[in-house]
Amino acid sequence: MTSIGDRVVELCNFGFGSIETVSRWFRRSKVETISTGELQALLAERDSPVVLIDVRSRSEQAVSKIPGAVTLQEYESGDDSYLNQSVVVYCTMGGRSYLYARKLVTAGIDAKNYRDGILGSELLI
């Protein structure tokens, strides 16, 4: 029997897959997703700078945060130290992070969506 949580994830995957398909029809760049294993490997590379952005609310961040991540507000502060870095965006389940990654990719920034979100991040620690 499939759980309600699994159904919600399936529905989200379908919804964001549909958005991505429509975006591709309009010749927009694809938003890449990154798995926990791929993120681990990317963070382990010393010569490949990456900024990890947490787009969740401050109250959510007060409960948990991936070590080394910056908040959306910190990223958008205009700090030049984030220039020329690959961007990985995360939230709880990948929805808000997809939308923000879509915004960044449209602006020409190399951004990926960490689809596993904070729930998958326990595998990073």
Neighbours of 79 (CB within 10 A): 11
* pLDDT tens string 62-109: 998 888 899 999 999 977 888 888 899 999 888 899 999 999 998 989
Higher pLDDT, 49 or 120: 49
pLDDT value at position 125?
52
Is there a domain that residue 115 lies in? Answer: yes
Residue 15 has pLDDT above 80, yes or no: no
What pTM was estimated for this model as a whole? 0.76
How far apart CA 105 and CA 29 sit, in angstroms, is 7
pLDDT-derived band at 115, boundaries 50, 70, 90: confident
Is there a domain that residue 22 lies in? Answer: no
What value does the CA radius of gyration of the chain take, rounded to a whole number of Å?
15
Question: In which domain, by residue range, is 67 found?
Answer: 30-123
Is there a domain that residue 15 lies in? Answer: no
CATH of the domain at 93: 3.40.250.10
pLDDT value at position 42?
86
pLDDT-derived band at 10, boundaries 50, 70, 90: low
Please name the residue that has the structure tokens 């990073």.
Answer: 124
Q: CA 12, 113, 83: angle at the middle one, nearest 5?
A: 155
Is there a domain that residue 63 lies in? Answer: yes
Which contiguous run of DSSP H or E holds residue 44? Answer: helix 36-44
* pLDDT tens string 21-67: 655 545 557 889 998 889 888 888 877 788 999 999 999 999 988 88
Straight-line distance from the first to the last Cα atom of the chain, in angstroms, rounded to the nearest whole number = 31
Is there a domain that residue 20 lies in? Answer: no
Is there a domain that residue 100 lies in? Answer: yes
Count structural domains, the chain. Answer: 1
